[in-house]
Chain A
Amino acid sequence: MRNIQNLRDFKDRLQAGFDNNEESLEAFGKTYSTQLKAYLIESNHKTIGAVDCPCGTWQKLDSVDWYVNSEGDFPNTLFLDSTRDRVWIIYSLLGATESDLFIDNWIKRIKGLDNCWLSRNQLLHWEDLQSWSQRGLGLKFLDGLSPEDEAGNFSLKAWYGANRYIQGLDEILKQAEEKFAIYSVRWQKRTNGSVSISAEWYSNGKATINRATDVDEVVIYIAEMANRYSDALKDATNLRDKSMGAFELDFSQEINLEAFSDTVAKGIGEMKLWLVETEAQPDFRRFRGIDLHTWDRVLLDVGTDFAHLTIPGVGCVNAAPRIAAIQGEDNAGKTSIFYDGVSVFA
C-alpha cells in the first residue's frame, strides 16, 4: 500500500473504502471494509507541537494543518485535520475497539484536549433538513449517584423499522427521548432515491460512517458539526469574558444532592469533578473546585433539578457541555444548557 502524502491521497483511500462497502453490500448484503470513524476533539493547543500522536507519530501531509500517523503498529490509519483553532477532527480507519481506546487514552493523557460533548440540539441538527431522516436513537440514564443495586439504569438503542410492527412503540420511544439523555443518533441522507450517507453521531463527538457514496460529502458533513461546535465555543468564551453570569444546566431528573456532594468531594465518577461544598441548604448546595479534565477552576451551584456553572479566569468553557452530557447520562436525564435564559451549545 502506498503512503498517503496529501489530502487527495487521503480522500482516495476513504473513497475506495466506501466503494468496497457499497459493492459488498450489493453483492452480499453486508459491508466488509472497516467503517470510517471521526472524532471531534476540543483543543486548547495552538499547534500539534505539544501533542503527540495516539498511535505512532504525526507526519505532516502536503496540505496545511493536516497530518497522518506514521510508524507504530498501525501507520496510515489516523488523519488529523487541525485547520480549526479549537476543534480538531481525527478520521480513523482502525477498528472500533482499538480506535476508541487510542483516542480515549490520548485525550486523558494530554492536558488541554477533550471530547466535543454534543448537546441534544446538536445531535438532532439534521432533523428538519431536507433529504435527511433519523434512523435510530440511543438513550442512556445510568443513575450513577445511587447505590449499584438500587440504581434505576436505563439504556436503549432503537433502530427504526421494527417500531412499525409494534403498536405504541413509537410513542414510548418519543417519551423516552424527552426524558433521558441522548447518547447517539443515526442519520441517513437519501439522494435520488438511494442512500448517500448513513452515519451515527455520539454525544462524545464521535461519528461512525456506516455507508457513504461520496467522500467530499462525508468530509463536509463531519466538518459542519466541527464548525458548529467551534462557533458555540467561541460564543461561550465571549460570554465568559464579557459578562459575569453563569451557564445554567437544567435537568429532567432530580439530583440526590447528598450523593452528589459525596461523589464530587472524592473526585470520582464520570463527571471528573473534584469539588468542596461551601454552602448547604436542604435543596441547594454551592461547590467550588476543579474540573479534573483540565484542572481549570469551576464554581457549581446545584439545586435538585438545575446547576449553575461559573468558570473563572480563562477556564475552558467546554466544561459546560461536558458536565451537561456526562451528568445527563450519569444522573439527570435530559439536560439543556442556557445563558441568560437563551439556549447555548445548541
Chain B
Amino acid sequence: MYLPELDDRIVLWRNTIQLFHKYNRPDFVGPFKAIGFSYVVERPFLTKQGEEKKPDIVASGESGWMVLELTTQPGSKEPKLDTYKAIDPRYLSEYEHYIHDNAPDILSSRLSFVDDGPYCQLIVKDILRVEKEGYLNNQDLKAALDRAKGADLSKLPEIPISIVPEMKSKEIRRGLVDIVLQLFEPNSDGKTLIQLVDEGLERLSDRIGVTEKRSLKDKVKSVMEDLIRNHLHEYLEFKEGKYIATERFKQYHKTRGYIASKLRDWAAPTPQMTLEDSYVKSLEKLD
C-alpha cells in the first residue's frame, strides 16, 4: 500500500477543487456545489485602485462570493489574504458569475492548520475540517461548510492539472507518468521539455509567470534525467531537444508491463532520498 505524502500539493488542489463537485460513489456533495457556487482558477481581478490580484480560486453563487487561497507553506498567509478584501466584485461579471456589491468571504485551504489570522480555514487532508467559520459573512456558505465537516476526501477524483511550480520532486514524477507514457506512441515525434511542462500544467499553462515556469522546467528536466539515467535508459532518450522512445521499444505487453512497473517505482513515494531529490531540493531553496 502506498499513499501520497502529507504535504502533497496536488492533494491540496484536488481536495479543494472537488468541494465544488458532487459524486454518487462514494457519496459526496461538495459544500460549494451544494450552494451552487461556480469557480475560476488563477484568473486576474482588479482592486478599485486598479491593482491586479490573481487569487488561487474565486467563486460566486446567488448567496455570495468568496476568495480561496491554497497553500502548504508553514508561514501565515494573513497579509496576503488581507489584500483580497479590496478586490472589486464587479469583475465577477467577466467570468459570467453572480455579481455582489460586498467584500468577498476570504478563506484559506491547507493540509494542516496554520494560523492565517481572522479568516475561515479549510483543512482538506483526508477528512474535511473547517476552522474559524465564525468569520464568514455568507450564512449559506457557513451552513454548507458545517454540513460538510467530517466528509471523507481521500477517494475524490484527480484533477486534470498534474504539476504546479511549488511541487517537490516526487509529486512532479507522479504528475508526469501519463505524459511520459505518451512518448511510447507509435511514430511519436517525442516531446520537448516545455511540452512536458505545458501539458502537466494543463489549463494553468498560460497563467503561470515566466520565473515560475522556468523553475518548473528545471525540476522537470531533473526528474526526466533521473528517469532516463536510472530507470528507463534502454527505452527512453533525450535526442535533438526531445524526449523520445528508443528503437528498442516495441508495442508488446511484456514491455509495457516493464515500463509501467519502472514508472510506478519512479513515481511512487519511497522513504529514501535520491541524489536527484537533493538536487531538486536545492532548486526549491532557490525559488
Contact = CB atoms under 8 A, between A and B. Distances in A.
B256 A306 contact: no
A241 to B, nearest CB: 8
A249 to B, nearest CB: 9
A312 B199 contact: yes
B33 A340 contact: yes
B158 A301 contact: yes
B178 A298 contact: yes
Given A244-B160, A289-B178, A276 B263 contact: yes
A240 B157 CA distance: 14
B269 to A, nearest CB: 9
B177 interface: yes
Interface string B1-41: 11110000000000001101111111001000100000001
A282 B3 CA distance: 11
Contacts of A305: 25
A175 B267 CA distance: 44
A266 B267 contact: no
Contacts of A290: 178, 181-182, 185
A29 interface: no
Given A250-B25, A341-B24, A310 B178 contact: no
Given A248-B23, A278-B264, A301 B253 contact: no
A248 B25 contact: yes
Contact of B254 (A243, A266, A279, A341): A266
Contacts of B2: 279-280
Contact of A266 (B162, B178, B181, B257): B257
Interface in A288-346: 288-290, 295, 297-299, 301, 303, 305-306, 308-313, 338, 340-341
Interface stretch (A52-60, A124-132, A223-231, A267-275): A267-275
Interface of B: 1-4, 17-18, 20-26, 29, 33, 41, 154-162, 174, 177-179, 181-182, 185, 199, 202, 253-254, 256-257, 260-261, 263-264, 267-268
Interface of A: 240, 243-246, 248, 250, 265-268, 274-282, 284, 286, 288-290, 295, 297-299, 301, 303, 305-306, 308-313, 338, 340-341
